[in-house]
Amino acid sequence: MERENLKSRLGFILLSAGCAIGIGNVWKFPYMAGQGGGGAFVLFYLIFLVILGLPIMTMEFAVGRASKKSPVKAYQALEKPGQKWHIHGYFTLAGCYLLMMFYTTIAGWMLHYFYMTATGKLSALSADAVADQFTRMLADPGVMMFWMVLVVVIGVVICAGGLQNGLERVTKVMMIALLAIMVVLAINSFFMAGAKEGLKFYLVPDFGRMQEVGVVSTLVGAMNQAFFTLSLGIGAMAIFGSYIGKDHSLMGESVRVVVLDTFVAITAGLIIFPACFTYGVDQTSGPSLIFITLPNIFANMPYGRLWGSLFFLFMAFAALSTVLAVFENIICCGMELTGASRRKSSLVNLFLIIALSVPCVLGYNVWSWDGFAVFGGAVLDFEDFLVSNLFLPLGSLVYLLFCVTRYGWGWENYKAEVNTGKGLKVHDWMRGYLTYGLPLIVIFIFLFGIYDKFFKYFENGMPYAKFIDLTQTLSLEAYYFTDSHWRQEALIETANQIKRNMKNDTLSDGYDICQAADSFYGVYSGQAALQVTPDKIMYIDSEIISQAQVYNYETKKTGAVYDKDKLTGYDPY
């Protein structure tokens, strides 16, 4: 069977960029940049992108182009007789399946919110009601299953149509539309009242803010984001290398893919920060940003239904571009392993991927289990941990060592392949860093990810399985120092985050409504000229709340949820 090739260079670049561009560019990068010193974080991110992500991307492309095989067969075409590098090929296929086991569900979320925004179902809702929509969606397996299956069907049908007539043609249209929508949304944000303040916070280097977060913490965050944003290590890039000719050097092509990925990440911040500063909303990250914070902004924005629909259409395209790229990898691997036609491999994987994606859908409701708390709370978090913390860094390390050491393909073979064609070249003076320095950095990223996931919160005696991270919702910016209380929207999102982690739509029946024994006079009690009417403090309590521990990042100590001495009497302020 003659191997298919991509029709154009543009198709290759957009397909590869589409695979790299994902939801992390939107719901993680802007937040990290804002908290890490704005332009200072972006500067270090770009540096790490060049010295970490770019070289490994050229290696994946080189392995694919030299072998003209899918990742599961590529090593066999290049390794020396008797070597075992090809074992990693099967792990790349497993990593692709694992990624799609939860990414299809997330892509379904985007389509669901595009539908709700476009049809006006989120219009005129209160902040509480908007937040509740996300919780309700997670609790409804029928809704989640419908959108997940739709995503899989769309992806498989497009890939079954052929490399050029299906995948390449659709991805070109979708990626160009994605970039155009982003530009329109960014221009709209520039004209908002809080644009100047928001863009200053986001883009102007602020090393003081970077020191507040922690210089080392910020640098490690920039390093991790630069490494993981390109989805390297599971052959997702290698497959597209196998579809191109040798007219252009792979370093130059990799630079173009990285530039597109970075453009999307930075432009996402240009959209988000002006909106958040205009409406006085704390910029968070993750699902709370996409499905709670931004929908609330759109609900209060002129023509919010239009801008909200465009935003979720952009997010749907970003998610689907990754789905299509990885589906192509899976389908091609199936064709080479079994000798099946493209359509037969597509049909088998249609049912297989749907079946494998079911645990993620049910992990938020029917199959919720406290054992996943250590990974973040749900099946999705466990699957994400396996991909992000194991398959990506260790897979990247294998590609790296295969290309630069004499025990694998070797430096000379890699250099000859990557430099074939017009464009930027890899030089011998880079060999020392790529052979000895870069592997150590990748190993550090892997070990730090394991430490961060399993050991970080044991340091102060906290059982990690009971930990709920509230630092993104109860940030310093969410506190009114003059009135000594948190912003209402921050408290609403905090409550919803706790409820989601506790796997409850509403508070459990197993709690008591309590009242403080004495009257509470508040912060004005020390001002004798003011006649203050005392209040009665009401709070909820339960066995779970009484056993829970709160970790204070400032004092590095743990304590009870309530300091009951402060629920009565006079505030020392």
The answer to whether the CB of 73 falls within 8 A of the CB of 433 is no
Max CA pair span of the chain: 91
Q: What is the pLDDT of residue 38?
A: 82
Q: How many CA within 13 A on the CB side of residue 468?
A: 22
Q: How many degrees, rounded to 5, is the angle at CA 31 between CA 268 and CA 257?
A: 45
Q: What is the pLDDT of residue 529?
A: 44
The answer to whether the CB of 317 falls within 8 A of the CB of 174 is yes
CA-wise closest residue to 308 among 318, 296, 319: 296
Q: What is the pLDDT of residue 481?
A: 45
Residue 424 token pair: 């930027």
Show pLDDT as tens, one digit a residue, over the chain (573 residues).
567 899 999 999 999 999 998 888 887 888 788 778 888 888 899 999 999 999 999 999 999 999 999 999 999 999 999 999 999 999 999 999 999 999 999 999 999 999 999 999 888 777 778 878 888 899 899 999 999 999 999 999 999 999 999 999 999 999 999 999 999 999 999 999 889 998 988 888 888 878 877 788 788 888 888 888 888 999 999 999 999 999 999 999 999 999 999 999 999 989 988 988 888 776 666 677 788 888 888 887 888 899 999 999 999 999 999 999 999 999 999 999 999 999 999 999 999 999 999 999 999 888 877 777 777 778 898 998 899 889 999 999 999 999 999 999 999 999 999 999 999 999 999 999 999 999 999 999 999 888 877 776 455 444 444 456 666 566 555 554 444 455 655 666 666 666 666 544 444 445 566 776 666 555 444 444 444 455 566 666 766 666 666 666 555 566 777 766 665 554 443
535 phi, psi to nearest 5 deg: -110, 160
CA distance 331 to 412: 32
Residue 6 token pair: 């991509």
Q: Which H or E element spans position 347?
A: helix 342-362
486 phi, psi to nearest 5 deg: -85, 155
Which residues on adjacent β-strands are paired with residue 326?
A: none
Reduce the DSSP state of residue 541 to 3 states and report it: strand
Tokens 């270090």 locate to 44
Q: Three-state secondary structure along 89-110?
A: HHHHHHHHHHHHHHHHHHHHHH
Q: Which residues contact 354 (CB under 8 A, 6 or more apart)?
A: 148, 149, 152
- DSSP labels for 447-492? HHHHHHHHTGGGTTT--GGG----TTTS-GGGEETTTTEE-HHHHH
CA distance 441 to 296: 40
Q: What is the pLDDT of residue 342?
A: 95
CA distance 303 to 192: 13
Q: What is the pLDDT of residue 338?
A: 94
Which residues on adjacent β-strands are paired with residue 558?
A: 551
CA distance 74 to 249: 19
CA distance 19 to 96: 12
Using CA atoms, how far residue 390 sits from 64, 98, 147, 395, 488, in Å, is 22, 11, 28, 8, 39
pTM of structure: 0.80
